[in-house]
Structure 1
Amino acid sequence: MEEKPKPSMEQIVYDKLKYSILHRELAPGTQLVESTISEKLKVSRTPIRNAIKRLSLEGLINIIANRGAFVIQPSIDEIVQAYEARIELECAAVKLSLSKITTDDINKLKLMVEDERASFINKDMIQFIDANEAFHMTLVRKSGNKFLIEFMQKIVNQINVYLQLFDTFYNVNFEESESIKEHLNIIDMIEKKDSLQLDKALREHISHSFRDLEINKASYKMLNDIF
């Protein structure tokens, strides 16, 4: 049996930082001081810098010239604006999509909800985000409007970062998940071709998603305690 190659130091730093950010151990706005990580791991700064760049491309770290790298810290106003834009764009897209959604599409949406349910059972945040994005973007793509699809994908990508930082995912089990119940209700409205109730259900669902964010979280660690 072949032994798996040992992960590189860059991968170790990347995995540790990402885990700490996604599991809310590092507070938004925390500065990632290369020298602190370097001293802890007894490693040069090059793999640390490369790991930070990778996380920056994923939207989890903000690199500011002449200041350093920081865990992303979106303002409440920024988050509100993203959700407000999402509500209007997604409802406009789904209005166009409703007549184009097939039975096969509905069956796929139900499978996505099962993936979402599994994510709560497995406590797998990435699986939850993937299933949630697949559900909503399936509805949007059926609109056939390339501008709505492009703008929605950009907003969803940004909101996914907020979900990773602030969502109550880790405190909820699948029996209690309002997200799963609301997705099933949305599917029901689609099957009934009830455009008015579908619009209402979508608006309420996205609003609930925003209200579920825990933007003020107290139990963070210092960078020095992570490594």
Structure 2
Amino acid sequence: MSDGSAAWRPVSRPGPLRETVRETLEDMIVHGVLGAGERLREETMAERLQVSRQPIREALQHLAQDGFVDLRQGRGAYVHVPTRQEIDDVFQVRTVLEAQAARLAAQRITEPTLRELNEMYERGAAAAGGVDTRVLVDLNHSFHALIIRSAGNAVLTDVLAGLQKRIDWYFAVVAVKRAPSSWEQHEEILKALTDRDERRAAELMTDHVSQTGSAFAERFVPMA
């Protein structure tokens, strides 16, 4: 198990302990503190988070249900290694939904939200040459989330929210390499939204999400 000392801290946030532990471990998986294929030893994690093994065990069960952890009979828990099919499935769904979100946002986005999106773009573009994966992932997440919210479709928003942690996890693997071109594409999407060009916004978002999916698949999973 990687040390990641700065990320390991006692769990003390309010709420059910098992849920707090789950969120902590999920965040560490998403941001690579716990790497794909890594064994997750209950006793080690309990010691580092300063909790008993029971909430660790419960958290691992939930993370397994969500696809972040594999529980292997007699062998323990391991961070899940996504298959090429899983990656393709997630990005196929994401591409369709986010393209539609961009199309709807081009119709419905307000001027204050456009200003907010432009400010977010400026922050992201400034950070794109950096190596802080967490910052890059968070900015990317926020940019897309604002477009999705601007679409004004609650069902679409809820479905994408269910995929968001997995999307962040995949993006974190390629964030440093992908960020410069990603934010150039964000600029083009922002222009299409500003111009209220529904078709262009959808096309640009389709290409943008597809490129991220391809970059992740090539970097993270050996090609057959």
Corresponding residue for 1:205?
Answer: 208
Corresponding residue for 1:75?
Answer: 83
Higher relative contact order (CA 8 A, sep 6+): 1
| Equivalent position amino acid for 1:92 in 2 | Q
Q: Which aligned pairs between 1:41-60 and structure 2 lie closer than 5 A?
A: 47=52, 50=55
Q: Does 1:133 align with 2:141?
A: yes
For structure 2, list consecutive stretches of 5 or more residues without a partner in the other structure. Answer: 1-8, 13-21
Q: Which aligned pairs between 1:184-199 and structure 2 lie closer than 5 A?
A: 184-199=187-202
Question: CA shift at 1:24, angstroms?
Answer: 7.1
Corresponding residue for 1:215?
Answer: 220
| Equivalent position amino acid for 2:198 in 1 | S
Q: Does 1:89 align with 2:130?
A: no
Question: CA shift at 1:120, angstroms?
Answer: 3.6
Q: Deviations over 1:20-49 (max 9, x none)?
A: 8844784x22322446x48xx998x96566
User: Are the aligned partners of 2:106 and 2:192 in contact in 1 as well (CA < 8 Å)?
Assistant: no
DSSP-derived class of the 1:83 partner: helix
User: Are the aligned partners of 2:121 and 2:143 in contact in 1 as well (CA < 8 Å)?
Assistant: yes
User: Are the aligned partners of 2:130 and 2:176 in contact in 1 as well (CA < 8 Å)?
Assistant: no
1:171/1:132 CA distance change after superposition, 3 Å: closer
Corresponding residue for 2:165?
Answer: 157
Deviates more, 1:53-62 or 1:116-125: 53-62
Deviates more, 1:124-133 or 1:80-89: 124-133
Alpha-carbon separation, structure 1, partners of 2:30 and 2:199 = 39
Q: Deviations over 1:152-186 (max 9, x none)?
A: 1112222112223xx322346x6xx1011000000
Corresponding residue for 2:176?
Answer: 170
Q: Deviations over 1:78-108 (max 9, x none)?
A: 1111110011111222222222112211111
Alpha-carbon separation, structure 2, partners of 1:20 and 1:145 = 30
Q: Percent same amino acid at aligned positions?
A: 19
Using the size of structure 2 for normalisation, the TM-score is 0.71
Alpha-carbon separation, structure 1, partners of 2:61 and 2:113 = 35
Alpha-carbon separation, structure 2, partners of 1:17 and 1:142 = 27
> 140, 144, 149: which one pairs with 2:152?
144
Corresponding residue for 2:19?
Answer: none
| Equivalent position amino acid for 2:99 in 1 | C
| Equivalent position amino acid for 1:185 in 2 | E
User: Are the aligned partners of 1:61 and 1:69 in contact in 2 as well (CA < 8 Å)?
Assistant: no
Corresponding residue for 1:64?
Answer: 71
